[in-house]
């Protein structure tokens, strides 16, 4: 094999295979919101029974909503997910996005924040998601959500 052809083959073999551009996943969970704190303000009484988990490119978010039109999204780099125990994944968080419904649409504010979302691996029974982060000015953002995980349709019991 000629040296230039060999170099091209090596170069091509070393390139990662690209996935679909802008690959996205969205999952809505039904359950019970047990706690919601938006910038030090308790919003738990208005918290809705739906939690969304979104994955877009390298970002993962957990999105809490309220019955009165507010929202809180915890966002982090999905590639940095860690495991604290066999069944306790940890998603580092570096952004929070708050939203509120206005007469002209939805107003959103993005803030840097340091924290994490912990969640149990879904299996038949209770699955919990707990997110907590603090902004540089010391404001607390927190959410706790529990849902009953159900086996997929047609799945057999172990």
Give CA–CA dist 144/72, Å, rounded. Answer: 12
What pLDDT, on a 0 to 100 scale, did the predictor assign at position 124?
A: 65
What pLDDT, on a 0 to 100 scale, did the predictor assign at position 90?
A: 83
What pLDDT, on a 0 to 100 scale, did the predictor assign at position 18?
A: 35
pLDDT at 12 over 50: no
Q: Domain spans of the chain? A: 36-149
pLDDT of 79-88, one tens digit each? Answer: 655 555 555 6
Give CA–CA dist 25/21, Å, rounded. Answer: 13
């Amino acid at each position: 094999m000629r040296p230039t052809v060999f170099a091209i083959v090596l170069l091509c073999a070393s390139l990662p295979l690209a996935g679909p551009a802008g690959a996205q996943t969205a999952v809505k969970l039904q359950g019970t919101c047990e706690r919601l704190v938006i910038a030090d303000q308790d919003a738990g009484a208005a918290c809705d029974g739906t939690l969304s988990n979104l994955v877009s490119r390298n970002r993962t978010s957990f999105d809490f909503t309220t019955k009165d039109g507010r929202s809180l999204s915890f966002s982090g780099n999905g590639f940095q997910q860690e495991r604290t125990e066999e069944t306790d994944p940890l998603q580092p968080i570096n952004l929070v996005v708050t939203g509120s419904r206005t007469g002209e649409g939805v107003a959103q504010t993005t803030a840097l924040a340091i924290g994490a979302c912990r969640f149990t691996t879904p299996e038949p029974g209770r699955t919990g998601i707990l997110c907590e982060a603090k902004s540089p000015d010391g404001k607390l953002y927190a959410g706790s959500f529990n849902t009953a995980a159900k086996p997929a349709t047609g799945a057999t019991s172990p």
